Amino acid sequence: MVARGPGGGLGRLTQRDLRALGACVTEIYALLDLDTFREHVVRAIAKVVPAEVITYTEIGRRGQPTVRVLHPARAVTSDLMLAFEHHRHEHPLIKHFGDNPHGRAAKISDFLTQREFRRLGLYDEFFRQIGVDHQMVVGLPAPSPRVVGVALNRSGLDFSERDRLLLSALRPHIVQALRNAESFSQMKGEVALVLQGLEEIGRGIVLLGPDGGIRSATRLARQWLTTYFGHRAERAKRLPDALERWVRFQGTTVNGSGDVLSARKPLIVEGEDRRLVVRLIPASGGGLLLLEQRHTAATPASFESLGLSRREAEVLAWVAQGKTDAVIGTILSLSSRTVAKHLEHIYQRLGVENRSAAVALALTTPLATQ
C-alpha cells in the first residue's frame, strides 16, 4: 500500500505554538523512570496538539505483551482493547512504523480514504466504538519487532499539517526523553540490586539530606536504628537524637580552641552480644551512613551464619575462647582428632590457614540477616 502525500503546505508556527512547544519540551525532560515517563508524555503532548484520546503504546508480535498508557486514563475499556488486538494487523500505521521506525508523524488518512478506513473490522469494532474517525501517530525507535509510538485520536476534523509539524518538532525531544527514562530506570534497577546485595551481606544504608534528615533508608538500617537507639524508624524523617548529634559533630573540623580535630572514627554502639558500627561518608547536599552489625560474643549460633555446620560452629566458638583441641574434645565428647578434622573443614570453608585467622574472620564478619 502506497502512502498518499499530505495535502497543502506545512505552514508557519506562531509565537503561541513555539511557546507551547517550549513548555512541553521542558516538561518531558523531567527526570522520570520509564513507567512515569509513559504517563507524563501523553499529558504533555495533549497541551500542544489537542486530541480526545492520546495513547502511548509499545506493541510486539502476537503473544508478546503490549504496554499502553491512555489519556484520559479510562478512555477505552479492556473489552475494546481486546478488539483492537484482534484487528491490529489491519492498522496501516503499525505496519508503516514497523518498517519505518524513524519516519515522521503520519496519519491514517495518509494511507486510507475515510471510506476505506470505515470498511475495516478495526474501525467497526474499535475506533467507531470510541467515537474516533482520525488518528495521527508519532513513531519512536524501538528494537525489532516492537513498535512504539504516541497516537492522537479525534472525531470530526482530521489533524492538520500544523498539527503534524508540531508533533514532528516534538519527536526528537520525545525520543531523547524516552532514552533518558530508559537509562534512569536501568540505573534504579541496578541501585536496587546493589542495595539488596548490601542487605544480604549484612549492611544497611541511610541517605541523608542537606538538613541531616533521612531521605531514604534500607530495611536493615531502619531495623537497627530501632534496635540500638529505640527509634521508631519505619517512617521517621529524622535520625535518633544521639546519632544526629554525632553526624553533626562529624562535620566539625576545628574545635572551640581553634585546633584541628583528629580523624573521625566510626560510631560504635554496643548491644548485648553484638555491636552496631556506623560510618559517615560526607557529600555535598547530604551524606551517607553505612551501618554494620558485628558479633561481640563467640556463640555457635552466630558462627552458623558463616556457612558452618552446627558442630563446626560449636568447635569454632570454643576455639575463640582459647580452648585447646583436647579441652574442646572433652567439652563436646569428641576425640582430639575429630576436633582437628572439624578445624580443617572450618579453615577450608572460611578460606583461612589457622585458628587465629578463623577466629578473627568470624568475629569481624557482619551478622547474617534474618
Q: For the segment 174-213, what is each residue's pLDDT rounded down to a tens digit? A: 999 998 988 888 888 877 777 777 777 778 889 888 888 8
pLDDT confidence tier of residue 63, bands split at 50, 70 and 90: low
As annotated, the residues of the chain forming the CATH 1.10.10.10 domain(s) are 300-364
Give the torsion sign (CA, 184, 188, 193, 198).
positive
Give the span between the Cα atoms of 202 and 219, in whole angstroms: 11
Q: Is the pLDDT of residue 260 over 50?
A: no
More confidently predicted of 314 and 296: 314
Tell me the whole-structure pTM to 2 decimals: 0.59
Spell out where the chain has E strands. 53-59, 67-71, 106-107, 134-140, 147-154, 203-208, 214-217, 267-270, 274-283, 286-295
Q: Is the pLDDT of residue 165 over 70?
A: yes
CATH architecture of the domain formed by 201-253+264-295: 2-Layer Sandwich (3.30)
pLDDT confidence tier of residue 123, bands split at 50, 70 and 90: very high
Q: Give me the phi and psi of 218, to 5 degrees please.
A: -75, 165
Query: What is the pLDDT at residue 322?
Result: 81
pLDDT confidence tier of residue 133, bands split at 50, 70 and 90: very high
Residue 16: in which H helix or E strand, if any? helix 15-28
Query: What is the pLDDT at residue 301?
Result: 73
Whole-angstrom Cα Rg for the chain: 32
Least confident segment among 8-22, 97-111, 147-161, 175-189:
8-22
pLDDT confidence tier of residue 298, bands split at 50, 70 and 90: low
Nearest to 1 by CA among 75, 83, 110: 110
**Which 3 state secondary structure label does DSSP give 93?**
helix
**Which 3 state secondary structure label does DSSP give 58?**
strand
Q: Mention the CATH class of domain 15-187.
A: alpha beta
Residue type, 309: S
Tell me the CATH number for domain 300-364: 1.10.10.10
Give the span between the Cα atoms of 167 and 150, in whole angstroms: 10
As annotated, the residues of the chain forming the CATH 3.30.450.40 domain(s) are 15-187
Least confident segment among 42-46, 110-114, 220-224, 269-273:
269-273
Give the torsion sign (CA, 229, 230, 235, 238).
negative
Give the span between the Cα atoms of 288 and 295, in whole angstroms: 23
CA triplet 359, 275, 312: central angle to 5 degrees?
30
As annotated, the residues of the chain forming the CATH 3.30.450.20 domain(s) are 201-253+264-295
Could you tell me if 361 and 352 are in contact, meaning their C-beta atoms sit under 8 angstroms apart? yes
More confidently predicted of 192 and 82: 82
Cis peptide leading into residue 143 (ω within 30°): no
